[in-house]
Amino acid sequence: MSGRKVALVTGAAGGIGLAVVRGLGQQGTAVAAVDNDATALEESTQKLIAEGLEVVPVLTDVRSPDEAEAAFDTVQARLGPVDQLVNAAGIMRPGKAWELDEHAWEESLAVNATGVFTMSRAAARHMVPRSSGAIVTVASNAAGTARTRFAAYCASKAAAAMYTKCLGLELAEHGIRCNVVAPGSTDTPMLHSLWSDGSGPRATLDGDPEAFRVGIPLRRIASPDDVADSVVFLLSDRAAHITMHTLTVDGGATLGT
């Protein structure tokens, strides 16, 4: 396809990442779907291909610098130079800040922050010689708002967001834009894992004063597509003059801060 864009999306086997792959594919972008879950990645990719989208699975552990570099080499050989990167891979390991074990802390940083670093660095090395490209990191509204029991998640997402903005400052002279999308509670398996019973959705909407957590003023939980639409926008030419920006998609849960 003439003028076709090529995108690489991490965390592509489910949740927000999968929604981003579909959203990009539906507008004619060739997408490399990156994940470290081989079974889920194959299943999701086959469904997207059946929908007529150009999607290629690339099994990758984003924590590994070598695998990150190899992923870009593979995608370039199969689809062409990567124009867009979306860092959507992420994990959540809840626990009180003063009771966290080292593994939960290190794993959170490895996936949520180091994964953004390895993939973004590899992307920059491929984009700079062509003086074009766009990177979007899916962080969280928790990157700028303290949450009880989510210290590792908040800290790792804050690191990912600030790294992305610093990268955007340095890559601006090369015409490469780097932005952040900060979702709030989104209807994904990650959110479902925090619910112990059928009252989970209501509790998310209402908030929890004892945990200093505001509810959602719009009175709805985001769908993965709500977040994906924002990612697709920031990658597009319609956002050509936007860089180093955080677009919060949380229904007002952080009160516009």
Q: Are 227 and 16 in contact (CB under 8 A)?
A: yes
Q: Are 182 and 161 in contact (CB under 8 A)?
A: yes
Q: Are 97 and 20 in contact (CB under 8 A)?
A: no
Residue in this structure with the two tokens 């509790």, named with its chain if needed = 203
Distance CA 167, CA 233 (A): 19
* Backbone φ/ψ region at 175: left (φ over 0), alpha (ψ -120 to 50), beta: left
The residues near 216 (Cβ < 8 Å, ≥ 6 apart) are: 184, 185, 204, 205, 207, 250, 251, 252, 253
Give how far Cα 44 sits from Cα of 33, 93, 149, 239, Å: 9, 24, 31, 29
* 153 tagged catalytic: yes
Catalytic pick among 72, 150, 153, 163: 153
Q: Would you state the structure tokens that stand for residue 28, as one six-digit string?
A: 């004619």
Catalytic residues: 153
